[in-house]
Structure 1
Amino acid sequence: MRLGRTTLFHFASHVVVSLAGFAATFAIARLGGADLIGLYAPAVAVAFWLNIPATAVGDSLTKRLSEGSDRGEYLATGLVMLAGIAVVLGVAVVLGTPLVNWLVGAEVGDVVALLVVGNVAFIGVRAVLNGEKKVARAAGTKSLERIVRSVLQIAAVAAGYGVTALVAGHAAALFVGTLAAVVFVDLSPGRPTRRAARSLFDFARYTWLSTLKTRAFSWMDTVVLAAFAVGSTLIGVYEVAWSLASVFALVAVSVKSTLFPEMSELGVDDEHDRIHHYLNEGLVFTGVFVIPGLFGAWALGERVLRIYRPEFTQGAPILVLLVLARMLAAYGEQFLNVVNAIDRPDVAFRVNLAFAGSNLLLNVALIYLYGWVGAAVATVLSAGVGLVYSYVALSRLVGRPDVPVLEIARQAVAALVMVAAVVSVRPAVPTGNYLTIGLVLAGAAVYTAVLIAVSGRIRAKVRGLAGV
């Protein structure tokens, strides 16, 4: 129940993040149109790609801190490494401003440098909190950062400012989130050592590709679409579809973040049976949101996208494909989470290399042939590659995972009942923003009721979390 409550709080924090993000995206879309989002998304993509080294070091720091020994030494060494990365990347972006401006299509190089440095700081302090097993508090600081960012960006758009103000607001929010997260850190840094640096580097030299995989999954299509000059409007529509698809993976992200430090500690003592138990629990809840999200995107995707502006409805098929990609990736990430937790980053490296390579090649080839639809298909196919490879790799390390097939099937049945109910009443419900939201909520209520009725395991968890 302790882990369940941590996951629930982490998920609630991500719901806050999503709601704040939805508000900001909605405001930008309504006031600035798809073109403005289509300029902002590549700028953020550039920053996120450049932060791969910082995220790799952050993941390594979380891993070493969660193991429980020499924590002050690792903390000091990790912070020194991250500070060095921030300086190098910041200077590199300033020097490469013309290239950044060309890729984004706007004069944003200087503020992207601030965004990169802010990201490094925020990544570092949240990595420390996760290493201290303060996953919920790390998620809370992310909620604060997203709320501040949304407020600043909505104010900027309402005042008539452009993409530079959006990027600047994003950077400012990261610094606010960093300061808030520092308050919750209990560890005191010791003295940086070469031994700790080597240990962090040994883990990070493999996990950087895990970060590359994450960046490829989230931003490869955006960068390639921008490089092929498909137009800021289509990129904007694509990004809105992606942001909606990502909402359905929130539970999976929370489960993964909560279980990693626990399984990492178990991995030190080779307690594989308990790790299998945690993985099985994680797989049960991975699909709780994303499975109904896939069915719901098919049934109501066009109506939901119309809430932003009519021009966004052309992204309805893209939305379905991207939710499918998020679902495949969510299950694959649970398997890979265990691989990293048992300190086998070398194996995770090979899995991530296969994903990143296939993602790049498929995006370039399919976008060239089919445009933005090709980008969505490439994301689905590469997510499938990652899922299969992660499962095979984990099976070789600790034995075949106990996949809760019946529980996943029950979630699919509940989703089918939900879709049947929504489709049956959809023709009688006029098009309108509030009515569409009402349909979504009604569908969610049907799904929840059916799932609780057919799944004793979910029912028991709900009662436990509610304290019944």
Structure 2
Amino acid sequence: MVYFGTQVGSTVAGFAATWYINNVLGAGVFGEFSTAVALMFWLNIPASALGESVKKRMSEGDAPGEYAAAGHLLTLAVHVALAGGLLAVAEQVNVFVGAPVAPYLAALVFARAVFDVTVSILRGEKQVGTSGGVKTFERVVRSGVHIGALFFLGVGIAGLVAGYAVSLLVATAAGLVAIEGRPAVPDRRHAVSILEYARFAWLGTLKTRAFAWTDVMVMRGLSLSIVGLAAVTKTQIGVYKVSWAVASVLALASIGIKETLFPELSDLGADDEYGRVKHFVTEGLTFSGVVAIPGLFGAVAVGDTILTIFGAEYAVGGTILVVLVGARLLAAYAGQLIGAINAIDRPDVAFRVNLAYVVANVSLNLALVALFGWYGAAAATVVSAGFSLLAAGWALSTLIGLPELPVGEVAKQVGAAAGMLLVVVALQRVVPGTLAWTLVVVGVGAAVYGALLFALSATVRRKSLSLLPT
């Protein structure tokens, strides 16, 4: 709950900044900023892979100080080189993004790398709530810097990228203070162990990046191609990423569950307690869609109007939003299964699952974006998410057997969401179609869903009551 609460705080801060940026600069500039961030996240793959490896090795309880130090040293070495490479091809980077941001982007790549490994160390110490707090702190600082820089200085995309880098460095300092253990001098064995796990974990990171950012990279890349393989504007990219941000809010519960369960599953996996591993995976699957399922129904009913929070031009993203919420829902379930595979120390199996996903995702994006533009990007995302779920389920079943699938609980969530949809549609017929009234309808719908689910599901009732203070 602590981790989930911090993620809610982070989301609120992020939404405030996203709303302000889009209202001040418009969807076109936000599309440029999204392209720069997409490039950063792809270049950040080595740091994320090293971070996953550090988290795993530290959670095993052996020589955590040595692994923490080795992780930081390896990350610094790799990303100093990457930042230098970016500066060497600055002109090409500026053309791809659509604005002169290469020096700031190089700083952002470096700052993101040291931030990610710091957060991974906290998670390796099982400080999941603290790691979420550090991420929330970074998001709040970033939102404050972005809003302040736009309001007082009138900066453009370069200022947004630079502000992002500053917020990461400030949050990294806070994260380093929160680390409980102390670094120790590592030897070759610790570095090799991290790299051994990372050589499989990097594809898991690539999978995450592919899910979140391949569509942006492909849309921008094909639109810049000499033969014009896709006609996707920077404005459409901006609307697309706003839709993705809204859809991502609905994945917060699943992400919090996965991050909280990983250290526990890792401990159980080390002791070969696979029965308990499967029990916890079932628990994770039960609650992964508890927010995303009603979100999908809600997006169908009022998604286009909700997007006008960011401006009238965003209403065109209503269909995109529905598809992306579906993708986030499928990915939420897949994430629980892949997390379990990694937790039982089978990164080789997770590697193969993620490789299949990345190939499918990139191939589908290249084909469907060329054919259908931004609708093709959304379709590629949801289809590849479904493929990932099936592949992860099959892989986990070959390792420890498939955990019990909470079909009944998911059906109850769908039933409650369907009841909510009926109420929302009925209310839409009698209230004005303005944004303000739509938000009221959304609030009523959420209350109806919560009440119906509480009535239908004994599991939800038990879990909800257990969270109340005694």
The TM tier, using the shorter chain, reads over 0.9
Determine the structure 1 residue equivalent to 2:216. 222
Q: Which residue, out of 116, 121, 126, partners 1:133?
A: 126
Q: Which residue, out of 301, 304, 307, partners 1:305?
A: 307
Determine the structure 2 residue equivalent to 1:13. 6
- Which amino acid in 2 is paired with 1:215? R
The secondary structure found in structure 1 opposite 2:126 is: coil
Q: Does 1:71 align with 2:64?
A: yes
- Which amino acid in 1 is paired with 2:182? S
Determine the structure 2 residue equivalent to 1:202. 196
Query: Superposition pairs for residues 423-438 of structure 1, below 5 Å?
Result: 423-438=425-440
Unaligned runs of 5+ in 2: 224-231
Q: Which residue, out of 366, 369, 372, partners 1:367?
A: 369
- How far apart are the structure 2 equivalents of 1:318 and 1:76? 43
TM-score by length of 2: 0.97
Contact 2:35 2:220 (8 Å CA) reproduced: yes
1:44-82 deviation per Cα after TM superposition (whole angstroms, max 9, x unaligned): 011100000000000000000000012122122112111
Q: Which residue, out of 184, 187, 192, partners 1:190?
A: 184
Determine the structure 2 residue equivalent to 1:181. 175
Determine the structure 2 residue equivalent to 1:90. 83
Deviates more, 1:406-415 or 1:157-166: 157-166
- How far apart are the structure 1 equivalents of 2:379 and 2:47? 29
Determine the structure 1 residue equivalent to 2:99. 106
- Which amino acid in 2 is paired with 1:179? A
Q: Does 1:169 align with 2:163?
A: yes
Give how far 1:189 is off: 1.3
Q: Which residue, out of 47, 60, 69, partners 1:54?
A: 47
Deviates more, 1:252-261 or 1:76-85: 76-85
Q: Does 1:156 align with 2:157?
A: no
Give how far 1:429 is off: 2.0
- How far apart are the structure 2 equivalents of 1:262 and 1:161? 45
Determine the structure 1 residue equivalent to 2:112. 119
1:298-350 deviation per Cα after TM superposition (whole angstroms, max 9, x unaligned): 01101101121111111000000000001111101100001000000000000
1:275-301 deviation per Cα after TM superposition (whole angstroms, max 9, x unaligned): 011111111110111111111110110
- Which amino acid in 2 is paired with 1:114? A
Give how far 1:401 is off: 1.5
Give how far 1:129 is off: 0.3
- How far apart are the structure 2 equivalents of 1:113 and 1:291? 39
Count residues in correspondence.
461
Determine the structure 2 residue equivalent to 1:5. none
Contact 2:79 2:110 (8 Å CA) reproduced: yes
- Which amino acid in 2 is paired with 1:367? V
Determine the structure 1 residue equivalent to 2:20. 27
The secondary structure found in structure 1 opposite 2:184 is: coil
- How far apart are the structure 2 equivalents of 1:209 and 1:102? 28
1:335-392 deviation per Cα after TM superposition (whole angstroms, max 9, x unaligned): 0001000000000000000100010000010000000000000001110110000000
Give how far 1:151 is off: 1.2
Unaligned runs of 5+ in 1: 1-7
- How far apart are the structure 1 equivalents of 2:45 and 2:249? 23
1:155-178 deviation per Cα after TM superposition (whole angstroms, max 9, x unaligned): 223342211111111111101111
Give how far 1:467 is off: 3.0
Q: Which residue, out of 268, 286, 289, partners 2:288?
A: 286
- How far apart are the structure 2 equivalents of 1:180 and 1:427? 50
- Which amino acid in 1 is paired with 2:173? L
The secondary structure found in structure 2 opposite 1:307 is: helix
Q: Does 1:448 align with 2:450?
A: yes
Contact 2:278 2:402 (8 Å CA) reproduced: no
- How far apart are the structure 2 equivalents of 1:207 and 1:23? 33
- How far apart are the structure 2 equivalents of 1:94 and 1:354? 33
TM-score by length of 1: 0.97
The secondary structure found in structure 1 opposite 2:291 is: helix
- How far apart are the structure 2 equivalents of 1:228 and 1:429? 43
- Which amino acid in 2 is paired with 1:126? V
- How far apart are the structure 1 equivalents of 2:321 and 2:108? 28
1:177-234 deviation per Cα after TM superposition (whole angstroms, max 9, x unaligned): 1111111101111112111111111110001000000000000000111112211110
Give how far 1:32 is off: 1.2
Give how far 1:33 is off: 1.0
Q: Which residue, out of 33, 36, 44, partners 1:43?
A: 36
The secondary structure found in structure 2 opposite 1:40 is: helix
Deviates more, 1:38-47 or 1:425-434: 425-434
- Which amino acid in 2 is paired with 1:349? F
Determine the structure 2 residue equivalent to 1:405. 407
